[in-house]
Structure 1
Amino acid sequence: MRLHAGISKTGIDHMNELFQQAVALMVAGMGFVFVFLAILVGATNLMSKVVNRIAPEIQVVPPPTAGNPMPPPNNNNDTMAVIAAAIAKHRSRHKK
């Protein structure tokens, strides 16, 4: 029995069979990858717990610093005047 464009019934059956095999192979491959990744995540979590039990992280406390770690603020009037002049010049050049 012939159908459209010279494709026989056996040709359509063959295409259906190939499509079914392709879908089955795709599902099997995706399942394998999912199972592999799940095992990998589980193994990584297990190794992390084992390593933390064997050699826990040591909490290092930094030694206290003497005095004030921040430098005193610089209230230099000349510096402030130069910064103000630079800002004014920049704004005058880049007016909208």
Structure 2
Amino acid sequence: MGELLEDGLGLMVLGMGFVFLFLVILIYATSYMSRLLNHLFPELPPVPSSSAMSKSSDKSVVDAQMAAVITAAVHQHRNNKKR
């Protein structure tokens, strides 16, 4: 019985060691690929345009409308909870 338990523990340690080794290799491989892709295809800084300025004003209107909708939904939920 003890020998079987030792074999099980040995297999468990061996399996966990392989998983740990695989994860370490995976971390290094993904970081290397990330650096390689950033080196080959660098991101260009965004160029602000006049259309971007007009979109930002539309966004504030949408945000105000969304805030009003959320406020109304919370108010209705609280009123329904009181009943």
Could you say which TM-score interval applies, normalised by the shorter chain? 0.5 to 0.7
Give the 3 Å change call, closer, same or farther, for CA 50–95 of structure 1 in structure 2.
Answer: closer
Normalising by structure 2, we get a TM-score of 0.60
Give the 3 Å change call, closer, same or farther, for CA 62–18 of structure 1 in structure 2.
Answer: same
Normalising by structure 1, we get a TM-score of 0.53
Structure 2 gap ranges (5+): 62-74
Structure 1 segments, 4+ long, off by >4 Å, are 93-96
Question: Higher relative CO (CA 8 A, sep ≥ 6), structure 1 or 2?
Answer: 1
Secondary structure of the equivalent of 1:25?
helix
Equivalent positions of 1:48-63 (< 5 A) are 48-63=34-49
* More helix by percentage: 2
CA RMSD of aligned residues (A): 2.8
> How many pairs does the alignment contain?
62
Structure 1 gap ranges (5+): 1-14, 72-86
